[in-house]
Structure 1
Amino acid sequence: MATTPNSYARFVGRVGALAVALGVGAAVATTPGFAVADDTGADTSEAADAGAAGTDTSPDSVVGGNLSDNDDAGEDEEEEAEDDESEDDEALDDEALDDTAEDDEPVEPKKNDDDPAPVKRTGDREPAVTFSGNVSRTTETTPEPTPDPVEDIATDLGAPVEEESPVAEAAVAPVTSEPPATAAVTAVPTVVGSMLSALGFGPLATQGPAVPTPSSPLLWAMLGFARREIGNTPAESATATPTAAALVVATETVSPLATPEQLAAERIAARTVRTLPVILMKMVLRQQFLAAAQRLYPDGIDAENMAALNRAVDEYAMGAAFQQQLLDSMNPKVVAQVAPPHVWFGQAVPGSRILYDNPDTIYRFMGVNGASEYVITGRFHDMTADGRPSDTTFSVLEGVGGTTSAILTADDLEVNEDGTFTITVSREPANGRRNHLQLTTGSTIIAARDTLGDWNSEVPVSLSIERVGGPPNSLFAQIGGFAFLGQFVSGNPLLTTLVSVVPPLPYMPPLLRGAFTAVILVVRGAAEQAKYMALATTDSDTGAPRPVNEIGQPASNAEFLANQLQSNGHFQLADDEVLVLTIDPGDAGYFIVPTYNIWTITDDYWSEPGSLNNEQAVRNADGTYTVVISPTDPGAANWVSTSGLNQGAIAIRFQDLGLDAPRIVSQQVMSHEALRDHLPAAAFVTPEERAAQLALRQAGFDSRWS
């Protein structure tokens, strides 16, 4: 259904009204001698324990191709809708009226007594989600061909069905990125408005008349280049080309990640990255990534890493498309991202891995704001020591920088005997409540992480979130106002009321989502990527270049999870060379040794041992671990594959820390032949044992996406 002038009018009216409200609020807020009595009882000491604070923007901290032809089961409905535009407009207006009627009243706090229904993990449990569709295995693949993105750009402006059209029938129990950093808050509307105006959609960008398309030769050159790039996209990101054969495993389980809102979020994100604003920004981002790598790797970037650059940019953009959906904190949802490409329930989902993703960790994020109250409901599906995740944390992230203000760990949680738990979330202090996360006026994201040591027995928790108190939904919240301006608005009742006057749009057009996603890429992409790439190549203490094949001692790094230690470095190895590391974990209950390309993302770690944790590795008699990093299989039991890369990065994590600190005992480079003399015979495996190891690894990974 094409966007009509009436559709534009809806957008213009609401954006104009919001602008008036913001103008009044700004005038009131800056007028001298004006006082407001705040009787909300908000606690003045909103900062959490200083020991938990730290910048939290990695996948351990962040908020982080196209779908196949059947990526949205509602596509047929879209085509039929175009034939009967009047009926769709009428239905959309009815939906908008319903939404507006619901959103006119503030949400009152209420008690949540519902426990999430169990996800089927054994024969005597009911499945939490039942889908019609075949389960496919995960492969390192760019998804199957999709319709021409140019046609998507032309038609997506008024297509509301992406959030509403189900891809599968589901009966669901409540199983249910950091927001983008901005250099200056005022730059966000300017960038979005300029971008939409440049594309010829002035009414979406301004509250006045339509802005004519500029006649800049540079813009037309960029648009022409983008059109050529779109024509080349299928060969790069839309053709299913598996790099590893998937293991077909019969399964009766349904992953706790498999929720309708997750599948919908994946469809929306995949559609968003096909919009013109994102396509244009990806071209810019590619050059920025390359410039950073050339500065940090002065000896050059090899061909394999250059070939991986486009995929890294694609995954970064997919992550931003997920982050865009988290901007609306009035309609919170639990969204899993920072994940590899996967195929499930008829959807081929592009990867969204960024910034040293942990292969053991399930990353899920929820958008929140300090003016609202929330309830998170969850369930551990196996309360035994072998079945619970090795580490589960909930972190409150602040503002656009991702500072961690509060952390709640599994050890802190009060869990019922059946594995269920409830966490309250608000600006009120805990006041003795164990299961409480305190927000501040600048809170934007809650990051939930399940770290799985044993992929075949440990199960991520089921999660859902509900907003139970706060102002009514609004256009301001829908477009991310609380994410960007929450620290100024959430603590002021008058401003909160003013920005909540204008109701939200009935739906977010893909192009508008694409514009906001492009803004996220503008304000976070280049600087953030360069900062994380530098962790591998630069000594954090001295600022000097880090020698190749040298891994730093474990240290606390503000760019990662606040309660863990990291050891970073980069490698340069021939096919028949190995980097041998001996690690003493100390009292750390968990550690992992993964490998990355220079763009800070993993490769195929499910059909090859691209990582090893202390559950998967063989321990030495003295309690240490000796891992062997190499592009090719040296036969060692503790082989960590580089996925064939001769050049790349390493980021070792240590969690569940104790008094005895972990350390790197020794590290050295040697040939495969020398390794046979260096390690005892018991440290090697036969080809049959390797095959069994990899089959078990693949099966454990597949259970996440089933």
Structure 2
Amino acid sequence: MSRPADGEPFLPAWNTFLDGLRDLAPAMLDKLPAQLRDDPQTQHEIGRLLLGALAARSIEAIAGDGDHPMFLPSLNVVLNVFQPNADTVYKTAHITPGGTYRLRGRAGSLRIAKIGSMAPPAADGSIQASSYYDLNSLKTDEDGTFDALLSPTRPEDHTGDWWELDPRANTLLLRQVAYDWSAERDPVIAVERVDAPPTRARPDAADLARRLQALAPGVDRTATLLIDHVPQLQREGYVNKFKVWDVVSNYGGLFGQFYYECAYELQDHEALLIESDYPETCEYASLILTNQIFETTDWYNNHSSLNGAQWRLDTDGKLRVVVSATDPGVPNWLDTAGYPTGVVQGRWTDCSSNPMPSARTVAVADVAKHLPADTPRVTKQQREQIIRDRRAWFQQRPLW
């Protein structure tokens, strides 16, 4: 029987991990303005965000292995960290810099299914993707199966699909973006390192200790990175007024994707009416909401996200969307779900233009007066069925 490698005893490492988490909740609260910091409801939502960060980073600590990778859930409606997009399934695979990796699977039918190669953060904390690989560009056989290689240099004897891999990259980020949740099929994908043995020996104590040691700092970075994003927008004056957010340069955003956002502040009787020109051509477009600590508003149980396959353009070609706590009875509604403050965030992806929408507050009771006369009405019963159908379709996506 093999003997575990020598290493530090477990309990001191465990206590160090707990000590690393002990002051995290107070530190998160300290990043918020007093009216949020002192609010018991927000305090418990901070606790939820902390648990989400702990869960996301714990999955990596348990299963992340650059020599024996797999695509692991990274952020989603449950792991609600880094403000996930409602239409996107995010998964990450840890890789060893300089390694050679094989991707096998079936392509599916999504408009956007891409893998980003990510190097470690820069000195200033920014993250940029070296490349985004398009699964829809791969050669497939009759049943949609693909087989591709990623490596820093192309092997001389390789004749199939190949993508150049940044030798610094330590993470592959898979983004699967659905438009029509009811009809589109997500890809399925396996990853393996081919220049390392296929088997994995018993992890030694030093490796397990290293994973535990890195967990608390990773949870800290995840939980605190964007927690004060909404107050920052408010300080800058972008309340119910949109601005560009450069996610591509700073947070590894998808190439070709234009992000815009604003903080919203609404009373129960108020609505934010968003109006925008629409690009002549557009691969993908969407709007989502967040709460005041930048968790994406629960789109699984609420009508709190819309994309280009779900919203309705008006007969004049413009997009109009209503944000409010009360259902205005129109198709293009984003439900704040009880959050009086948060963010409205939009995406234009690979579009012929990137219009900047306008926004203005109106009374919910007067919404119909500010929309075209032919805007359809949505009854309470119809809305409930829409939400039930959305939830059923979304639940059938491969979140885990």
Secondary structure of 2:225's counterpart equals helix
CA displacement 1:284-341 (0-9 Å, x = unmatched): 22222222222xx88977654333111011101111112324642011112123123x
Secondary structure of 1:676's counterpart equals helix
Distance 1:636 1:378, change over 3 A: same
Q: What residue in structure 2 maps to residue 424 of structure 1? A: 149
C-alpha distance in structure 2 between counterparts of 1:510 and 1:333, whole Å: 18
Secondary structure of 2:191's counterpart equals strand
Map of 1:74-85 to 2, 5 A cutoff?
Answer: none
Q: What residue in structure 2 maps to residue 330 of structure 1? A: 67
Given that 1:546 and 1:569 are in contact with CA atoms closer than 8 Å, whether structure 2 keeps it comes out as no
C-alpha distance in structure 2 between counterparts of 1:454 and 1:604, whole Å: 19
Q: What residue in structure 2 maps to residue 534 of structure 1? A: 229
CA displacement 1:563-585 (0-9 Å, x = unmatched): 31101221111112111111334
Given that 2:287 and 2:346 are in contact with CA atoms closer than 8 Å, whether structure 1 keeps it comes out as yes
The match for 1:669 among 353, 356, 361 is 361
- Note the C-alpha offset of 1:610: 1.4
Question: Does the alignment pair 1:515 with 2:207?
Answer: no
C-alpha distance in structure 2 between counterparts of 1:536 and 1:577, whole Å: 20
Distance 1:555 1:372, change over 3 A: closer
CA displacement 1:156-183 (0-9 Å, x = unmatched): xxxxxxxxxxxxxxxxxxxxxxxxxxxx
CA displacement 1:187-235 (0-9 Å, x = unmatched): xxxxxx7xx78x436xxxxxxxxxxxxxxxxxxxxxxxxxxxxxxxxxx
Question: Does the alignment pair 1:569 with 2:262?
Answer: yes
Secondary structure of 1:650's counterpart equals strand
C-alpha distance in structure 1 between counterparts of 2:38 and 2:111, whole Å: 36
Q: Once the two structures are aligned, what percentage of the paired residues are identical?
A: 20
- Note the C-alpha offset of 1:670: 0.9
Question: Does the alignment pair 1:289 with 2:28?
Answer: yes
Given that 1:567 and 1:653 are in contact with CA atoms closer than 8 Å, whether structure 2 keeps it comes out as yes
Distance 1:557 1:580, change over 3 A: farther
- Note the C-alpha offset of 1:471: 7.5
Q: What residue in structure 2 maps to residue 200 of structure 1? A: 12
The letter for the 2-side match of 1:672 is V
- Note the C-alpha offset of 1:411: 4.5
Secondary structure of 2:170's counterpart equals strand
Q: What residue in structure 2 maps to residue 602 of structure 1? A: 296
- Note the C-alpha offset of 1:529: 3.0
The letter for the 2-side match of 1:435 is D
Given that 1:579 and 1:667 are in contact with CA atoms closer than 8 Å, whether structure 2 keeps it comes out as yes
Map of 1:487-506 to 2, 5 A cutoff?
Answer: 505=203
Given that 2:68 and 2:198 are in contact with CA atoms closer than 8 Å, whether structure 1 keeps it comes out as no
Map of 1:97-176 to 2, 5 A cutoff?
Answer: none
- Note the C-alpha offset of 1:426: 1.0
C-alpha distance in structure 2 between counterparts of 1:380 and 1:412, whole Å: 9
Given that 1:627 and 1:639 are in contact with CA atoms closer than 8 Å, whether structure 2 keeps it comes out as yes
Question: Does the alignment pair 1:552 with 2:223?
Answer: no
Distance 1:303 1:579, change over 3 A: farther
- Bigger fraction of residues in helix: 1
Q: What residue in structure 2 maps to residue 359 of structure 1? A: 86
- Note the C-alpha offset of 1:462: 0.7
The letter for the 1-side match of 2:317 is G
Map of 1:183-194 to 2, 5 A cutoff?
Answer: none
C-alpha distance in structure 1 between counterparts of 2:192 and 2:211, whole Å: 23
Secondary structure of 2:276's counterpart equals strand
C-alpha distance in structure 1 between counterparts of 2:259 and 2:102, whole Å: 32
Larger Rg: 1
Given that 2:128 and 2:248 are in contact with CA atoms closer than 8 Å, whether structure 1 keeps it comes out as no
Q: What residue in structure 1 maps to residue 105 of structure 2? A: 378
C-alpha distance in structure 2 between counterparts of 1:398 and 1:525, whole Å: 17
- Note the C-alpha offset of 1:651: 2.2
The match for 1:455 among 181, 197, 202 is 181
The letter for the 1-side match of 2:114 is T
Which structure 2 segments of 5+ residues have no match? Answer: none
C-alpha distance in structure 1 between counterparts of 2:357 and 2:86, whole Å: 24
Secondary structure of 1:627's counterpart equals strand
The letter for the 2-side match of 1:316 is A
The match for 1:623 among 317, 334, 355 is 317
Map of 1:166-245 to 2, 5 A cutoff?
Answer: 199-200=11-12
C-alpha distance in structure 1 between counterparts of 2:231 and 2:136, whole Å: 32
Q: What residue in structure 1 maps to residue 5 of structure 2? A: 11
Secondary structure of 1:568's counterpart equals strand
Question: Does the alignment pair 1:684 with 2:382?
Answer: no
Q: What residue in structure 1 maps to residue 111 of structure 2? A: 390
The letter for the 1-side match of 2:82 is L
Secondary structure of 1:11's counterpart equals coil
C-alpha distance in structure 2 between counterparts of 1:583 and 1:358, whole Å: 20
Question: Does the alignment pair 1:310 with 2:37?
Answer: no
Secondary structure of 1:685's counterpart equals coil
C-alpha distance in structure 2 between counterparts of 1:328 and 1:534, whole Å: 32
- Note the C-alpha offset of 1:473: 8.1
Q: What residue in structure 1 maps to residue 162 of structure 2? A: 436
Secondary structure of 1:515's counterpart equals helix
The match for 2:140 among 396, 402, 415 is 415
Given that 1:632 and 1:644 are in contact with CA atoms closer than 8 Å, whether structure 2 keeps it comes out as no
Given that 1:426 and 1:438 are in contact with CA atoms closer than 8 Å, whether structure 2 keeps it comes out as yes
Secondary structure of 1:663's counterpart equals coil
Given that 1:425 and 1:437 are in contact with CA atoms closer than 8 Å, whether structure 2 keeps it comes out as yes
C-alpha distance in structure 2 between counterparts of 1:308 and 1:683, whole Å: 36
Distance 1:368 1:510, change over 3 A: closer
CA displacement 1:421-451 (0-9 Å, x = unmatched): 1120111159997832322332101111110
Given that 2:32 and 2:231 are in contact with CA atoms closer than 8 Å, whether structure 1 keeps it comes out as no
- Bigger fraction of residues in strand: 2
Count of residue pairs brought into register by the alignment? 390
Given that 1:430 and 1:437 are in contact with CA atoms closer than 8 Å, whether structure 2 keeps it comes out as no
C-alpha distance in structure 2 between counterparts of 1:578 and 1:361, whole Å: 27
The letter for the 2-side match of 1:653 is R
C-alpha distance in structure 2 between counterparts of 1:628 and 1:419, whole Å: 40
- Note the C-alpha offset of 1:517: 1.3
CA displacement 1:450-490 (0-9 Å, x = unmatched): 1011111112111111211147989xxxxxxxxxxxxxxxx
- Note the C-alpha offset of 1:611: 0.7
Given that 1:593 and 1:611 are in contact with CA atoms closer than 8 Å, whether structure 2 keeps it comes out as yes
C-alpha distance in structure 2 between counterparts of 1:623 and 1:322, whole Å: 45
Distance 1:610 1:276, change over 3 A: farther
Q: What residue in structure 2 maps to residue 583 of structure 1? A: 276
Distance 1:703 1:299, change over 3 A: closer
CA displacement 1:228-266 (0-9 Å, x = unmatched): xxxxxxxxxxxxxxxxxxxxxxxxxxxxxxxxxxxxxxx
Q: What residue in structure 2 maps to residue 649 of structure 1? A: 343
Secondary structure of 2:214's counterpart equals helix
| RMSD of aligned residue pairs (Cα, Å) | 3.2
Which structure 1 segments of 5+ residues have no match? Answer: 1-5, 16-192, 202-274, 341-350, 382-387, 475-502
C-alpha distance in structure 2 between counterparts of 1:433 and 1:633, whole Å: 56
Distance 1:634 1:365, change over 3 A: same
Question: Does the alignment pair 1:403 with 2:128?
Answer: yes
Distance 1:302 1:671, change over 3 A: farther
